[in-house]
A and B are shown apart, each in its own frame.
Chain A
């Protein structure tokens, strides 16, 4: 039976260290399989989150060999197995225990973003008409599984700890989905400029690179939002013209 070595971060509230485990591996295994096997056989109290084991719920985010990943979608055969695989919690959020982090900040951020506000229904039966073409972009954003890997990798949060000021790529995607929703009537641009500080993003695209749902976060969500903010608040000609244009 083939075995492999894993170094799992064990500890509480940031205090801890890597512990090495050896476990048997079978064909097709993903990192989560190995972690759960170690939990079942050697470390019953190993804390980690997972639900779907199919890349759909965004629970099993961690840093595998230093890269932000979904453990359930990372095949062992995609990693070098001659040295131990390291698995540690996301570093942009406070540590709870072992691989589990406190992601509650994200839930608080979402609550502060103005909710969906649809226009009056188009048809008498209370329904709307939207063409597929018009919803394609929003559907891309709505694929988000809230794994928060993009938040984990964004330097504004990870290195500069500006959680108070900046909502992070996940919630820029969320805001974009609302702003570009064909039925929505609210306007979040002022909030994006002043409260969410979209200006803090300097388009490094690290978020896009780690998104397991392949959402083009920077190009399709953040840059268009930035352009809208610029148009709305900084472009003098547009600002002037707007006086004559009804919204």
Chain B
């Protein structure tokens, strides 16, 4: 057996995006020793890519906003299968979490009276997203990183966790390898926080990075935790479509928030054609009113481009399928048109959307201040994740916590833009706090050496001489298959085929070969990531089959309607005794009367 390097902390946090950093800072503030582990270099996690902003009802731009409106917007956007307790906590606590960032050095864009500026985003009734141009995620991660490095946290960069270790029912730490030399590390800990982000690499067209292989989901699942809502994968309506090499890269919703409009190849603003009943009262019925809304007119209602992502993505798919798409298989997103309305359009676009300007200029030779962009849906965010307690973020395994994109509950069937960054802060803090508390209140753990040996052996298996398959090919085949069969439009037969094909891909993965040696070897890492990708892909397909209706991000061609009786439960998956994936339904607890009142009140 290869040697291991051993580390011991009260709490380890796996993942150093917004959620992980915030959790580590909080746990450390509670006086326990903290280790923070991440696959990439510090400051490079997915959070760095977030563009548009973070949602919090601080009411700096529209004084009518408050937590109740934010709460009901989140529930409506999630089609009422959200964990309502999480939605309540989130709406109430997000303002303090955002202000705290300012105290740690974040520099948000300002209102004329010197406060934090907020912008419009889909599904939010009032301008609510605190932002910095279109690089809010960078501001957030850098602020947390620069604050975090002075809090006595031990950071393990370019270290990848391959298994959670257990002591009886309780979590006891993690086994990881370090990228540079390929050495294994055993982390012993009284509490573990998972903050590993999403699963977007399971699909071909994706805005997500190589890291998004669903590691946290898979680690928790194989350790015996429950996953929930895995059918709800968010396809963002606007990804780049051309040139082919940039397909999937995100175009922020901020473009539409600043007045950008969607058009088909006949020049029609097709979003006016189909406005869901749930949103009729809140949506403008003519372009002029929509424009006024984006420019801050409080008497105007929002344009249909700012309806929720699930709906906008489906309208775009409809236009493309019915032959009204753009030349490269998307639709047009036009922000240049605002020059008809404001003299300073060019400078304004560059100031408010600088990275979109550069992205299109550099990658597609398009000047967005002069011509429209071509956009289409891209895999973006995982609503589903590890099932946790709303207040403590503890999973169904004692001592195992989860926060951020890898946890579930806040967003229901569809996440509102901007609600992820605030989610990371609110529940990252809570996870850190309660993990520290758990560590303080519970005794030590023992590492099971047999488990360590066993998992290490598994992790080294791709080097076996008998193996032959290129892991990148298996990954590409999985992505292609998931995109086709479990993508934005779903039906039962195709998903059953997908489950069968995942079985085949498991067999091929058992033959995935890593060439060379353990030192900084992406071929090896890709082979190991496959097991996580396959686990989450199967969970997505099986959960999507179980929900025989269309709701939020899940659109079933064979069940196009929403069914009221299916609003009463969440789909849960768990590893059964025999190792197979067990799907069940968990009844959503009755909503607290005062919250139910708020939803009614807000209309």
Q: Could you say which residues of chain A place their CB within 8 Å of the CB of B147?
A: 115-116
Decide yes or no whether A47 CB sits under 8 A from chain B: yes
A54 and B44: CB pair below 8 A? no
Interface string of A50-78 (1 = CB under 8 A from B): 11111111110000000000000101000
Query: Mostly helix, strand, loop or mixed at chain A's interface?
Result: loop
CA distance A146 to B42 in the complex (A): 10
Question: Within the complex, which residue of B115, B138, B245 is in contact with A30, where a contact is CB–CB below 8 Å?
Answer: B245
Min CB distance A177 to B, Å, is 8
Decide yes or no whether A39 CB sits under 8 A from chain B: yes
Stretch at the interface among A131-139, A194-202, A221-229: A131-139
Interface string of A156-178 (1 = CB under 8 A from B): 00000000000000000000001
A57 and B362: CB pair below 8 A? no
CA distance A104 to B522 in the complex (A): 20
Question: Within the complex, which residue of A104, A115, A146 is in contact with B43, where a contact is CB–CB below 8 Å?
Answer: A146
Decide yes or no whether B49 CB sits under 8 A from chain A: yes
Q: Could you say which residues of chain B place their CB within 8 Å of the CB of A244?
A: none
CA distance A119 to B71 in the complex (A): 33
CA distance A107 to B362 in the complex (A): 29
B362 and A143: CB pair below 8 A? no
Stretch at the interface among B102-110, B418-426, B447-455: B102-110
A55 and B520: CB pair below 8 A? no
Decide yes or no whether B551 CB sits under 8 A from chain A: no
Decide yes or no whether B282 CB sits under 8 A from chain A: no
A48 and B522: CB pair below 8 A? yes
A57 and B521: CB pair below 8 A? no
Decide yes or no whether B99 CB sits under 8 A from chain A: yes
Interface string of A104-124 (1 = CB under 8 A from B): 100100110001101001000
CA distance A39 to B472 in the complex (A): 9
Min CB distance B23 to A, Å, is 20
Residue of B whose beta carbon sits closest to that of A145: B138
B209 and A28: CB pair below 8 A? no
A45 and B209: CB pair below 8 A? no
Q: Could you say which residues of chain A place their CB within 8 Å of the CB of B142?
A: 142
Question: Within the complex, which residue of B210, B363, B522 is in contact with A75, where a contact is CB–CB below 8 Å?
Answer: B363
Decide yes or no whether B243 CB sits under 8 A from chain A: yes
Q: Could you say which residues of chain B place their CB within 8 Å of the CB of A132?
A: 109-110
CA distance A110 to B358 in the complex (A): 28
Stretch at the interface among A1-9, A92-100, A234-242: A92-100
A57 and B522: CB pair below 8 A? no
Decide yes or no whether A26 CB sits under 8 A from chain B: yes
Min CB distance A172 to B, Å, is 15
Q: Could you say which residues of chain A place their CB within 8 Å of the CB of B114?
A: 128-131
Decide yes or no whether B3 CB sits under 8 A from chain A: no
CA distance A178 to B99 in the complex (A): 18
CA distance A124 to B245 in the complex (A): 51
Interface string of B134-162 (1 = CB under 8 A from A): 01011100100011011000000100000
CA distance A223 to B109 in the complex (A): 26
Decide yes or no whether B297 CB sits under 8 A from chain A: no
A55 and B109: CB pair below 8 A? no
Decide yes or no whether B211 CB sits under 8 A from chain A: yes
Decide yes or no whether B500 CB sits under 8 A from chain A: no
CA distance A118 to B472 in the complex (A): 48
Decide yes or no whether A82 CB sits under 8 A from chain B: no
Q: Could you say which residues of chain A place their CB within 8 Å of the CB of B43?
A: 57, 146
Question: Within the complex, which residue of A47, A110, A121, A184 is in contact with B520, where a contact is CB–CB below 8 Å?
Answer: A47
Decide yes or no whether A44 CB sits under 8 A from chain B: yes
Interface size on B, residues (CB 8 A): 65
Question: Within the complex, which residue of B107, B210, B471 is in contact with A51, where a contact is CB–CB below 8 Å?
Answer: B210
Q: Could you say which residues of chain A place their CB within 8 Å of the CB of B470?
A: 40, 44
CA distance A128 to B106 in the complex (A): 12
Given known A45-B515, A52-B49, contact A30–B42 (CB-CB < 8 A): no
B362 and A128: CB pair below 8 A? no
Min CB distance B298 to A, Å, is 21
Given known A56-B135, A57-B48, A115-B146, contact A26–B243 (CB-CB < 8 A): yes
CA distance A57 to B44 in the complex (A): 5
Q: Could you say which residues of chain B place their CB within 8 Å of the CB of A100?
A: 520
Interface string of B79-106 (1 = CB under 8 A from A): 0000000000000000000010011110
Min CB distance A152 to B, Å, is 15
Min CB distance B143 to A, Å, is 9
A44 and B515: CB pair below 8 A? yes
B102 and A127: CB pair below 8 A? yes
Residue of B whose beta carbon sits closest to that of A33: B245
B522 and A47: CB pair below 8 A? yes
B522 and A44: CB pair below 8 A? yes
Decide yes or no whether A80 CB sits under 8 A from chain B: no
CA distance A47 to B245 in the complex (A): 21
Min CB distance A192 to B, Å, is 17
Min CB distance B171 to A, Å, is 28
Name 17 A/B residue pairs within 8 A (Cβ), A-sorted: A27-B243, A27-B245, A41-B472, A45-B523, A51-B48, A51-B209, A59-B44, A75-B363, A103-B41, A115-B150, A130-B107, A139-B109, A142-B132, A142-B139, A142-B142, A146-B43, A181-B105
Name B's A-contacting residues (CB within 8 A): 40-46, 48-49, 99, 102-105, 107, 109-110, 113-116, 132-133, 135, 137-139, 142, 146-147, 149-150, 157, 180, 209-211, 242-246, 249-250, 355, 358-359, 362-364, 470-473, 476, 514-516, 519-524, 526
Name A's B-contacting residues (CB within 8 A): 12, 26-30, 33, 39-41, 44-59, 73, 75, 96-98, 100, 102-104, 107, 110-111, 115-116, 118, 121, 126-132, 135, 138-139, 142-143, 145-146, 178, 181, 184
A28-B363, A115-B105 are known contacts; what are 10 more A-B pairs with Cβ within 8 Å?
A30-B245, A41-B472, A44-B472, A51-B40, A51-B210, A107-B149, A111-B149, A116-B104, A126-B103, A139-B132
